[in-house]
Chains A and B, each alone.
Chain A
Amino acid sequence: MMDYISNTAAEKDKMLQEIGLKEVKDLFQMIPEAVSADERLNIESGISELELMRRAQLQAGKNKSLDQQISFLGAGAYDHYLPGIIDALISRSEFYTAYTPYQAELSQGTLEAAYEYQSMICDLTGMGIANASMLDGGSAAAEAVTMAARITGNSRVLLPDTVNPAYREVIKTYGAGAELEFVDLESKQQIINPAQIEKNINDQTAVVVLQYPNFYGSLEKMEEISKMIKNKKNTLLLVIANPILLGVLKAPADFGADIVVGEAQNLGNGLNYGGPNLGFMACKDDRRMLRQLPGRIVGKTTDVDGKEGFVLTLQTREQHIRREKATSNICTNEALNALMATIYLATMGKEGLKEVGEQCYHKAHYLAKKINGLSGFEVLNQDNFFNEFVLKSEKESTEVFEELLQEEIIVGYDLKNIGENGILVCVTEKRTKAEMDKLVEKLEVL
């Protein structure tokens, strides 16, 4: 057993004497017997580091990780290349063992990195303001929807089924708290027909949500839909963007987005079974929006000697100042994950991010063409897709999924999990030609 306590028995006695007590248990005299856990906590005895590592390795051995098979899984969590310097740098304990930078003068490292992160998110999205991070993509989307409702004073939300189903569920959970009204729009695994937006948008509509590219990998008719929204005075466009593709894809701001959010796990963060992830949030440079933006924001200022430095700013939006009138309850965010994304973006630069996006595109389209050449299989996406697509088969999707699993291939996300037929296949720059050819070869003989 190891407990990280370094006071010796003699030191404890000395401290107790200073306090004026005899025994440690006297410190707890005020706790009524009825609520005390008078028996020992029924948790097994502590173990050494050696035993702990053995036990953890044993558990790892019961898993089958992505290192042991070929994976085309995406659907909101993405397997991209992680430059080695990220873990090396965030392992510096001055970063990872620090708290929220409330004492700015002793936290300039965290603050300056967050300012850089906000700058890079603004660059990617084309927006004027970004906050210092949200808990994950789903909750960022949900908080953006409630933010839009506060800004517009409206409560009607248009929610296409081309938005990630997990996000839709999170949005609706938050929406139940804020008492919003949702209008679900159906696409049948394609893109949303702009006519459906036209039909359902009205003066009470707070926000239209679009995912870019959408859950099924396709690009929505962004321009056309955006124009419809701009015709409404009090309706906002919320775009849920995939940030790693924004090295190639046009910035959401250029389609008239008012708020842009998304999951930035794919910027230098590993998979980690879906968490910790990194929600990002950006909005137009507009005072009315800024006042309603949730989360921490870092700003540049000067010290008493005129030297530039960074602080947490605009905190009157936040819960520790505004309590029940705050824009959100968010306190802890994903600062370290944002640092990882910042280091990733700095390392890749504009050329690297572009190359990642292009490789994803070319590889996904290579695989899609091969699949379209097979009998019994086809790619469903009829409109532009980027690097995810829906594989349709004559066989039940679950059968295809399970048979390929035997061949050490996870072909993608079985849409049966959300009550639909098909498999959502994702190709990142990490997949090799050999891996894709193996998938095609196995599909051919299924």
Chain B
Amino acid sequence: MEEKLIKDYSSSGRKGYSLPPLEVEKSDLEAELTGYLRDDLELPEVSEVDVVRHYTALSEMNYGVDSGIYPLGSCTMKYNPKRNERVARIAGLTNIHPYQPEKQLQGSLEILYQLKLDLAEISAMDEITLQPASGAHGEFVSLMIVKKYFEEREENRTKVIVPDSAHGTNPASAAMAGFDVVEIASNERGMVDLEALAEALDENTAALMLTNPNTLGIFEEDILKITEMVHQAGGLVYYDGANMNAIMGYAKPGLMDFDLMHFNLHKTFSTPHGGGGPGSGPVGVKDFLAPYLPRPLLKKDEEKYYWDYQRPKSIGKVHSFYGNYGVMLRAWAYIKTLGGRGLKKTTENAVLNANYLKARLKKDFELPYAEDSLHEFVLSGSRQKEEGVSTLQIAKRLLDYDQYAPTIYFPLVVKEAMMIEPTETENIGTLDHFIETMLTISREIKEDPELVNKAPHSTTVRKLDETKAARNPDLHW
């Protein structure tokens, strides 16, 4: 490895911390806690400088949005504004304990309430919970709401329908909530096949989970027909908000007759992804589902903000406290900075950027669905595959050119898929650079496929053996 492990800097007796001296008399800890004590901890013994240099070295082996384009489809890797980070580090907003009395925290609760109102406006939903800590967490909450709703109505509905183009979290969340998952195929235009839907719907259908635009970036033009069909069968329709960046100011899930949905604050609302988290996945519902939202729910009573715990129909809690507040502060700062017009402009530019990329790449890479698309699109590397190079290797070759790769092999409905989402914060310069790199790789595949097949060449480590990692797990030092 390029940088040794922190434990390899350890030297017995070395210290990187200091605490004030203990000013109180000691208890007889050894005697009082007999049988509960240990002396076998092996944490590294390193200095402050060791720690700083080691993690600085690790950061230099990483790539973030601040390093360059990050065109991961469905991940909405937009720029993370620095002012949001400033807001999220104001001590008066952050050095607060979740069990402080509400009267001491009206400033923070007001921020959260404003965020709720803005999310409701963007989505045309009636009530919002901020508790889910990720998108998948929001999906789970939504499906537990569906489950509870039908239990209350004494309807035994066991099935959740999921299109084959859906995110993997959708079927996994449905299964966690105890539902049977029914997958339906997309039609040749990449949209929900209405006949397949009609066939799947019956008196056991609890819900349809859908993202719109879908993972191909294509807007379901029959959306009102789809939601109507599900409603007529007595089911609910859930909106996966992963792709909200495509529609802000142009369409609202509530107007599409979705009953409930989740947002990804770490996608649409610019909060950083932190190398895999934290995120935040608020859930919005129509009024008739509001009683089932997790406890507690933020409410306003004249001029006072408070947490309402008196919610007898609630599905219960899914987080120890109120969710990822630090992420919410950043999303609030973002929405305040952009305002309604800025959000709409965001969507316009996200869609413009994606369509520009598509227009310039579709000659050299196969475009499996010709439908108009919004903020993202899916190419297939099948032509290159015929020339002896897989999509995986195209992705690895991109890394040699200091650019991150698109989402690959997803959605599952496209062979050798490359799902590309540039977001609005790239400009024509970085897009052109990405296009030229893709075209170069396409040329390289024709001229010297081995060069691409052996990529990456210039990263800190070269292609890693994933099979070995899974076969002989080495999961700690």
List of B residues within 8 angstroms of A19 by Cβ: 352, 355-356, 358-359
CB neighbours (8 Å) of A275 from chain B are: 98, 133, 278, 319, 321-327
Shortest CB distance B5–A (Å) = 6
Residue contact B175 to A94, C-beta cutoff 8 Å:
no
Pairwise interchain contact A271-B278, C-beta atoms closer than 8 A: no
The reply to whether the CB of A85 lies closer than 8 angstroms to some CB of chain B is yes
Find chain B residues with CB under 8 A from A174 CB. Answer: 176, 318
Given contacts A64-B104, A106-B456, 18 further A-B contacts (CB under 8 A): A12-B349, A15-B353, A30-B371, A31-B219, A88-B52, A100-B275, A104-B464, A107-B62, A135-B133, A136-B133, A173-B144, A179-B178, A249-B33, A275-B321, A301-B466, A319-B168, A337-B278, A384-B33
Q: What are 9 A-B contacts defined by CB distance under 8 Å?
A: A1-B342, A3-B338, A31-B247, A87-B89, A89-B59, A103-B399, A139-B320, A290-B473, A358-B29
In the complex, whether A160 has a CB less than 8 A from a CB of chain B is no
Closest CB in chain B relative to A105 CB, distance in Å: 4
**Selected interface stretch from B37-45, B229-237, B379-387, B441-449:** B37-45
Contact B251 A85 (CB under 8 A): no
Q: Which one, A36-44, A184-192, A197-205, A228-236, is touching chain B?
A: A36-44
Expressed in whole angstroms, the minimum distance between the Cβ of A292 and any Cβ of chain B is: 13
Q: Determine the chain B residues whose CB is within 8 A of the CB of A87 once the complex forms.
A: 89
B250 near A37 with CB under 8 A, answer yes
Stretch at the interface among A51-59, A371-379, A389-397: A51-59
Q: Say whether A400 faces chain B, with CB atoms less than 8 Å apart.
A: no
Give the CA-CA distance A223 to B59 in the complex, in Å.
Answer: 43
Chain A neighbourhood of B223, CB < 8 A: 32, 35
Is B51 part of the contact surface with A, judged by Cβ < 8 Å?
yes
Q: Is A56 within 8 A of B93, CB to CB?
A: yes
Shortest 8 CB-CB contacts between residues of A and residues of B: A274-B321, A60-B92, A336-B274, A62-B107, A274-B98, A46-B339, A97-B64, A109-B62
Instruction: From the candidates A93, A112, A351, name the one contacting B5 in the complex (CB within 8 A).
Output: A112
Secondary structure at the B interface, as helix, strand, loop or mixed, is loop
Q: Is there a chain B Cβ closer than 8 Å to A421's Cβ?
A: no
Q: Is the CB of B193 closer than 8 A to any CB of chain A?
A: no
Given A44-B339, A275-B319, A335-B277: A311 in contact with B66 (beta carbons within 8 A): no
Cβ–Cβ < 8 Å partners of A21 in chain B: 355
A100 touches B273 (CB 8 A): yes
A273 engages B249 (CB within 8 Å): no
Give the residues in chain B near A384, CB-CB below 8 Å: 32-33, 36
Question: Do B348 and A332 touch across chains, with their CB atoms under 8 A apart?
Answer: no
In the bound complex, CA of A258 to CA of B99 (Å): 31
| Contact assessment for B63 and A297 in the assembled complex, using a CB-CB cutoff below 8 Å | no
Q: Which residues of chain A are near B371, meaning CB under 8 Å?
A: 30
Q: Would you call B153 an interface residue if the criterion is a C-beta within 8 Å of the partner chain's C-beta atoms? A: no
Shortest CB–CB separation between residue B184 and chain A, in angstroms? 14
Contacts of A93 in B (CB 8 A): 64-67, 80
A129→B256 CA distance, assembly (Å) = 45
Question: Is B110's CB under 8 angstroms from A59's CB?
Answer: yes
Q: Is the CB of B92 within 8 A of A108?
A: no
- Quote the shortest CB–CB distance from B123 to chain A (angstroms): 10
Are B463's CB and A303's CB within 8 A? yes
Chain B residue contacts of A322, Cβ below 8 A:
168, 172
Whether the Cβ atoms of A366 and B110 lie closer than 8 Å is no
The answer to the question of B58 belonging to the interface, with a C-beta cut-off of 8 Å to chain A, is yes
Q: Does B72 contact A (CB under 8 A)?
A: yes
A355 neighbours in B (Cβ, 8 Å): 19
Is A110 interfacial (CB-CB < 8 Å)?
yes
Q: Smallest Cβ distance from A204 to chain B, in angstroms?
A: 19
Mask, B387-399, CB within 8 Å of A = 1, is: 0000000011001
The stretch of B195-203, B283-291, B423-431 in contact with A is B423-431
- Bound-complex Cα distance A231 to B93 (A): 50
Least Cβ–Cβ distance between A424 and chain B, in angstroms: 9
Cβ of A45 within 8 Å of any chain B Cβ, yes or no, is yes
**Once the chains are docked, how many angstroms separate the CA of A130 from the CA of B6?**
18
With contacts A27-B355, A329-B173 taken as known, whether A277 is within 8 angstroms of B63 at the C-beta atoms is: no
Does A119 count as interface, using CB distance less than 8 angstroms?
Answer: yes
Tell yes or no: A284 within 8 A of B by CB.
no
Asked if B310 is an interface residue, CB under 8 A from chain A, the answer is no
Contacting pair A349 B15 (CB below 8 A): yes
Interface size in chain A (residues, C-beta < 8 A)? 208
A225 at the interface (CB under 8 A from B): no
Q: Are A130 and B476 in contact (CB under 8 A)?
A: yes
**CB-based contact A129/B475 at 8 Å:** yes
Min distance, Cβ B226 to any Cβ of chain A, angstroms: 11
**Which chain B residues border A350 with CB–CB below 8 Å?**
41-43, 45
> Is B352 touching A352 in the complex (CB atoms < 8 A)?
no
- With A276-B327, A328-B172, A331-B136 as known contacts, state yes or no: A99 contacts B48, CB within 8 Å: no
Is the CB–CB distance between A106 and B63 below 8 Å? yes
A35 to B255, CA, bound (A): 5
Q: Are A99 and B316 in contact (CB under 8 A)?
A: no
- Contacting B at CB under 8 A, from A1-52, are 1-7, 11-12, 14-16, 18-21, 24-25, 27-32, 34-37, 40-49, 52
Q: Is the CB of A301 within 8 A of B468?
A: yes
A166 within 8 A of partner (CB):
yes
B470 touching A313, Cβ below 8 Å: yes
Contacts of B433 in A (CB 8 A): none
With a cutoff of 8 Å between Cβ atoms, the chain A residues found around residue B62 in the complex are 94-95, 98, 106-110
On whether the beta carbons of B352 and A12 are closer than 8 Å, the reply is yes
CB-based contact A405/B19 at 8 Å: no
A251 to B43: give the CA distance in the assembly, Å. Answer: 13
Q: Of the candidates A104, A343, A356, A362, which one forms a contact with B27 in the assembled complex, judged by CB atoms under 8 Å apart?
A: A362
Asked if B135 and A97 sit within 8 Å, CB to CB, the answer is no
Cβ of A260 < 8 Å from any Cβ of B?
no
Question: Given A136-B320, A277-B320: A123 and B41 within 8 A (CB)?
Answer: yes
Complex Cα spacing A167 to B317, Å? 8
Across the interface, name the chain A residue whose C-beta is closest to B332. A56
User: Which residues of chain B have C-beta atoms less than 8 A from A49's C-beta?
Assistant: 83, 337
Q: Smallest CB-CB separation from B461: which chain A residue?
A: A309
Instruction: Decide yes or no whether A432 CB sits under 8 A from chain B.
Output: yes
For the complex, what is the distance from the CA of A382 to the CA of B109, rounded to whole Å? 38
- B338–A46 touching, CB < 8 Å: yes
Q: Is the CB of A366 within 8 A of B24?
A: yes
Q: Assess the B276–A314 pair: CB atoms within 8 A.
A: no
Q: State the CA gap A100–B405 with chains docked (Å).
A: 12
B41 & A99 in contact (Cβ 8 Å cutoff): no
Q: Contact at B91–A67, with CB atoms within 8 Å?
A: yes
In the bound assembly, the distance between CA atoms of A38 and B59 in angstroms comes to: 45
B134 touches A270 (CB 8 A): no
Closest to B372 in A: A30
Instruction: Count chain A CB atoms within 10 A of each CB in B178, B278, B279, B476 and give the residue with the most.
Output: B476
Is A339 part of the binding interface, using a Cβ–Cβ cutoff of 8 Å?
yes
Are A359 and B80 in touch, CB under 8 angstroms? no
How far apart sit A158 and B337, CA to CA, in the bound complex (Å)?
Answer: 49
In-complex Cβ contact of A106 among B5, B352, B399 (8 A): B399
Asked if A289 is an interface residue, CB under 8 A from chain B, the answer is no
Are A177 and B473 also in contact (CB < 8 A) when A57-B92, A97-B66, A108-B58 are?
Answer: no
Q: By the criterion CB–CB under 8 Å, are A99 and B342 in contact?
A: no
Known: A116-B6, A329-B139. A27 touches B318 (CB 8 A): no
Instruction: Tell me the bound Cα distance from A172 to B437 in angstroms.
Output: 51
- Report if A209 contacts B (CB, 8 A): no
**A5 to B342, alpha carbons, bound, how many Å?**
9
Find the B residue at minimum CB distance from A335: B276
For residue A124, which residue of chain B has the nearest CB? B41
Of chain A, the residue at the smallest CB distance from B178 is A177
Let me know if A5 and B83 touch, CB within 8 A.
no
Q: Does B116 contact A (CB under 8 A)?
A: no
C-alpha gap A352/B47 in the complex (Å): 12
Closest to A432 in B: B23
Contact: A325 with B175, CB < 8 Å?
yes
- Nearest B residue to A275, CB-CB: B324
CB distance from B264 to the nearest CB of A (A): 8
- Complex: A222 Cα to B96 Cα, angstroms: 33
Q: How far is the CB of A184 from chain B (nearest CB, A)?
A: 14
Contact partner, A313, options B54, B66, B277, B469, Cβ 8 Å: B469
A66 close to B97 (CB less than 8 A): yes
